[in-house]
Amino acid sequence: MLIWLTNWLTQYASFFHVFGDYVTMRALMAALSALVISLFMGKPIIRWLQKMQIGQVVRDDGPQSHLSKTNTPTMGGCLIIFSITLSVLLWAKLNSLFVWLLLFVLIGYGMIGFLDDFLKLVLKHPKGLRAKHKYLLQSVLAIVAVIWIFLTLNPYMNFSLSIPFSKNLMIPLGGWFFVLGYFVIVGSSNAVNLTDGLDGLAILPIVLVAAGLGVYAYVTTNSVFATHLLFNYMPNVGIEELVVFCSAICGAGFGFLWFNAYPAEVFMGDVGSLALGAVLGTIALVIRQELVFFIMGFLFVMETVSVILQVGSYKLTKKRIFKMAPLHHHFELKGWPETKVVVRFWILTIIFVLIGLAALKVR
């Protein structure tokens, strides 16, 4: 009996040993957990948002087809943040400082978005959180995150800008790392926020970019792949836990898409878009692949640039370049159905992510 019990305990321990030692298995479980949590909690949260009358406010000057979205529950980003956080706490190794960094950024930016949404949708403040206050809060969190990354990684590497599709071309950053880091985090946060304007438009690109960055995080912490692909091998720093975090984003994102697909039952709101954009930028900084992130997330760049060009052109010439900015509204007003805009932008993101992944080998 004692021998049988010993053998059973050994097998039982070995089973969970797989989850503890293999980041790929823990990443898979994190994705599944986040997916199940978001699917299970989605309907109750939507019903609660409807009960609280937290509904979307639609611009009168936008596409007329959007008027039907009025009062659709928003602030669904709370569901995404909850799913990611719980999944990461279950499956990531919590001795990694980067796990806590990403949770700090996710929840911190989520709180900024929550405050903005709360002011607009619950207190009926027309403009929500003032832009200068929003950027101030975003800036404080970004600066803290960049300093956190610098202090954690500084003993292990020189901070340089890695150039995609090149083997050894690196641009030393020195103190410019702090400037770059600030703009990557704040810029990506607001870029994703601008992209989140149609049913399902932002969430799948977020999932695809997170998956791509997760591949880079895995390569960076795997001695075989890092050596073969000429990457700096980073053992024992905790970066491998970013693979688990990226997987949790993917699982929670797919779960949210179940309810956010056209016609959307819920929108993520600023609470989701600001948080997820900031987290993606932070992951890119940690794995030192800012330009790869720029390529993979080029849809977010396009949307942001369209707004900058539109505002700049109107201020200088009183003429508009696009029918409406961000870019997805321009194509809607050209007559494209909303679903066609969304799917085509998804396809573009797949192309951008594949180009970014090609930089792993084509160097």
Task: Please give the Cα distance from 149 to 143 (Å, whole number).
Answer: 10
Confirm if 249 and 207 have CB atoms less than 8 A apart.
Answer: yes
Q: How many residues does the chain have?
A: 363
- Residue 73, helix vs strand vs coil: strand
Tens of pLDDT along the chain (363 residues)?
A: 545 444 544 444 444 445 566 888 999 999 999 999 999 999 999 998 888 777 666 555 556 565 556 678 888 999 999 999 999 999 999 989 999 999 999 999 999 999 998 888 877 776 778 889 999 999 999 999 999 999 988 776 778 888 898 877 888 888 899 999 999 999 999 999 999 989 999 999 999 999 999 999 998 887 776 666 777 766 667 788 999 999 999 999 999 999 999 998 999 999 999 999 999 999 999 999 999 999 999 999 999 999 999 999 989 888 999 999 899 999 998 989 999 999 999 999 999 999 999 998 877
pTM above 0.95, yes or no: no
- Residue 172, helix vs strand vs coil: strand
Q: Where are the domains of the chain?
A: 25-55+70-295
Task: State the chain's maximal CA–CA distance in angstroms.
Answer: 87
Task: Please give the Cα distance from 118 to 246 (Å, whole number).
Answer: 28
Residues 6+ apart with CB under 8 A from 195: 201, 202, 205, 273, 299, 300, 303, 326, 328
Confirm if 197 and 328 have CB atoms less than 8 A apart.
Answer: yes
